[in-house]
Structures are given as C-alpha cells and as structure tokens.
Amino acid sequence: MKTRSLLTILGLLSCVMVMATGKEDLKVGFVTGNPEINSIKAIAFGPENILFVGDNSGMSLYAIDVKDQPGISREALNLERIDQRLAAAMGAKADEISIQDMAVNPLSKNVFFAVSRERGEETHYALFRLSDKGLKEFSLEEVSHSKMKLKDAPTASHQTWNRPSRTYTVTDLHYANGELIVSGLSNEEFSSGLRRVPFPFNEEMTTTNVQVYHVTHGRNETHAPIYRFLPVQLEGQWHVVAGYMCTPLVTFKLDELNGNNKLIGKTVAEIGAGNTPTGIISYQYEGQDYVLVGNNVHPLTKITGKDLFRAKALTAPMKERGVKRENVKLGSISHIADYDEEHFLILVRDKAKEVSQLKLVAKADI
C-alpha cells in the first residue's frame, strides 16, 4: 500500500509539474551510455537538442540528447569537398563513403551527417557534427539516449529490389506534434508503411500500410517504400508529402494514418524516371507556402502549397505530369534541409569532378 501510495503521489507531482511548466519532459526514460547503434540510415531533429536515428540493421529507433551549443557562422556552412573531409576523418577514400542523411539542429544551427563506410563485406557507420569547432565525428560514447525496438520490421529472409528488405525498415523520419513519423517497410502483406510513434517512446506504435499509383509503372504499388517525406501543414490541415523512387510525389492526410491496411495516397506529380528524391522541405516566403523536393537527377522541384493541396490525383499514365511546379537548376542534390527562415542547406554532387559541396542557399533566390 505504501508503494502504491508513493507511486500515486509521484504521478500526481509529475502531472502538477507538467501543468506548471506547460510541457512534458521529453527526456523521461533517457539513460546514459553507448546506444550501440548498428546502422544509421536516417536522422532528424526534434525539440530540445534531441536527434532521432533510424537503425535498420538493429530494427530500432533512437533518441539522443546531443547537448548542442550555438555558435556556428553562416560562412562555415559553405564547405567544399565535404565528402573528402569526411572520408579523411574515417581513414577512407571519398569513393568508400556515403553520406546517408543530413539534419540541422533547430536550436544550435549545427549540422549533423550520417555517414557510412564500405570496407569489404563490412559497413561502418558514424555521426559527424559541423559546428563552430569544425567538422568532427560525434562520439556515441556516454550519451543520454532512449531506444525503441521496431517489432514489425521485415523478416530477415525477405527481399526488395534484390536487397534485404530490412535495408528499408526506416527510410526517413520526422518529429511532429509530439510523435515521430517513420517511413519504411514492415512485415505486413502490404509492406510499405508509415509508422506513428508517440514520443517519449512508450512501446506504442501505429503502422498504416500505404499504396500509391506509380505513373511511370502504370499501376498501384504496395511494396515500394517511401524514400523521403515531410509532415507539412497546408491550409490548416496536416499532410504527409512523400517522394518515391523514380519518382511519384504523393500526399496523405496525417489524420488518416490510423492503422488502415490499405490507405491509398494521392499521386499529385511524376517528377521523372531514373530519379531519386533526396529530401523535402517546406517554408513560407512573402505570405506564400512552398514545398521543395530535392532530386539527384532532375532539377529541384518547387511547388506552392496551394497548388499541392488542391491538386487532382493522377490515376493513369498520361502526358500531363500533375501539379504545376517550377524547376530550379542547382545541380545534383544529395540532401536538402531547412536551415532558417531565410535559407535552406543543400549537399550538391558535382558528378564530373566526383566531389560534394555543402551550400547555404537563400530562399529569396529561388
């Protein structure tokens, strides 16, 4: 009875503290140590210096308190040959590494990179941070973190595009409205899904299996994973804007991600065959909402929020490519991230010189 009473008191005190401060402790349940992450495919920031990591090999999600401090200058964000710098830090050649993802901490404005290095049959993963102290590896020793196991990850034997399906367990992730939204494959019959994971992690999760009309392929597809997406509020309604490989652009209503086994998205554009979406951001400029889609083959795609929200669904192969948009030629974009109200950040690949450059771009210039 004493234990029960004490727990009740503690629970009431916790509620009082939340009511007094106006917010929940997002780092409840965090422990200090090495999270022992097996792979780093996707990264994204939430509030309070929390970096989320998708671990495909470990079939897990992580939240890490990076304890960042502001101080980086805008000049430091224009960085030539960043791939060569990262490779040198890992004791590798530039063609041995791959920058898996890039994320900007909204509090400090420091930039984080998820990097992999191939050596024979082994792959090593690391996090790097670009701050006022330069580009350095971020140590995962003795960090404050929490973890959640994904119980619906694909089975070890399943293949997608001649690769283990677990490679696509997590393809992208974003924090919005108190939950982590995660795209990737699951072990369900219709395996392409969007997961809604309450945060702080509490073992609860809702997976909605999604399908999309693929204009280039001329059919509905249920196993093609979303490659990049973004939760975005358009005209007062929350949507998920999703980019698939080769390259339909699709929207889902966020409130419809409720565990439905066959949610059909609205295909609003076909960006073009042979292309990979490399990131999606949204922003406002002069009172207008915009969505940008980075591409590794085709130019940067710019769409107004109004056009995207009101676009009709594409349901058959046709010459008309869907929603009205502009093409902005900035080169082959490997990654794109929102930086501040005036700028976004891109990682551009010079294919002729086989080098990558980090560039800060003014939103007013596009």
Report helix, strand and coil shares of the chain as percent, to nearest 5: 15, 45, 40
DSSP 260: -
- Cα separation values, 259 from 182, 197, 213, 232, 330, Å: 13, 12, 20, 20, 39
Least confident of 1-5, 29-33, 230-234: 1-5
Separation between Cα atoms, residue 215 and residue 270, nearest integer Å: 6
Q: What is the mean pLDDT of residues 253-275?
A: 91
Residue 70 contacts residue 108 (beta carbons within 8 Å): yes
The model's pLDDT over 295-349, given as tens digits with 9 standing for 90+, comes to 999 999 999 999 999 999 998 876 557 999 999 999 999 999 999 999 999 999 9
What's residue 319's pLDDT? 57
Tell me how far apart the alpha carbons of residues 58 and 31 are, in angstroms, rounded to a whole number.
18
C-alpha pair distances (Å), 249 with each of 179, 210, 293, 339: 23, 14, 9, 23
Confidence of residue 144 (pLDDT cuts 50, 70, 90): very high
Judge whether residue 7 has pLDDT over 50: no
Q: What residues pair up with 250 in beta bridges, in sequence order?
A: 242, 267
Q: Is 272 helix (H, G, I), strand (E, B) or coil?
A: coil
pLDDT of amino acid 260 = 78
Q: Output the pLDDT for position 60.
A: 98
Residue 50's pLDDT band (boundaries 50, 70, 90)?
very high
**How many beta carbons lie within 10 A of that of residue 13, not counting itself?**
10
In tens, the pLDDT along 192-212 reads 999 999 999 999 999 999 999
Distance from the Cα of residue 285 to its chain's centroid:
23
**Dihedral of the alpha carbons of 4, 5, 10, 11, in degrees to the nearest 10:** 70
Q: What is the Cα–Cα distance from 101 to 229, expressed in whole angstroms?
A: 13
Where residue 276 falls (left for φ over 0; alpha for ψ -120 to 50; beta otherwise) is: beta
Q: What is the mean pLDDT of residues 99-113?
A: 98
Alpha-carbon span 337 to 345, nearest angstrom = 5
